[in-house]
Amino acid sequence: MRQHRWTNCALAACSAVALGVGTALPAYADDAADKAAIRGLWQTYSAARVEADAATWLTLWDAEGIQMPPGSPARGFEVLQESVPKAFVPGAVTAMEIEPIDIEVAGDWAFARGVYSSTRMRDGQEVQLDGKFLTILKRQDDGAWKIYRDCFNSND
């Protein structure tokens, strides 16, 4: 049976809509602005860590956020709220840089992969650390990006 060309096109279009392919992203979707906002999140993260500002650092996390640190079990946001203020000691981290290498945005989700370095004080001595991370971010109702899942490890 021979189908008309327009029938094939109509079937393809209906299939794309059913699968969500080709649907418009929300009006606020702007790849360059989203990537800039995510880079800004990492700048705030670094500054808050150096300043031992746990309150600001915690605002960067989604309420369902999970951190997956090396050598430890995953920690949900409730655990972070309890443990981070105790761990953010002034002067413990004297410098921190986070450099996202890849930022990919897909609607209300994004991932960032990159590297970090920090200078920390241990037993009165400066220690240099560097490592890598892979983070999933979630757009909030107000359009802001927050950390949803965060996995990192050092290169040491």
Residues 16/23/145/114 CA torsion (nearest 10 deg): 50
The string of pLDDT tens digits covering residues 48-102 is: 999 999 999 999 999 999 999 999 999 999 999 999 999 999 999 999 999 999 9
Model pTM score: 0.80
The string of pLDDT tens digits covering residues 87-146 is: 999 999 999 999 999 999 999 999 999 999 999 999 999 999 999 999 999 999 999 999
Sheet order of strands, 61-68 included:
75-76, 61-68, 145-154, 125-139, 109-122, 93-106
Q: Is 57 helix (H, G, I), strand (E, B) or coil?
A: helix
Helices and strands, counts by H and E, the chain: 4, 6
In order of their start, the domains of the chain are 24-154 (3.10.450.50)
> Tokens at residue 66, please?
């999970």
> What is the pLDDT confidence band of residue 156, given thresholds at 50, 70 and 90?
confident
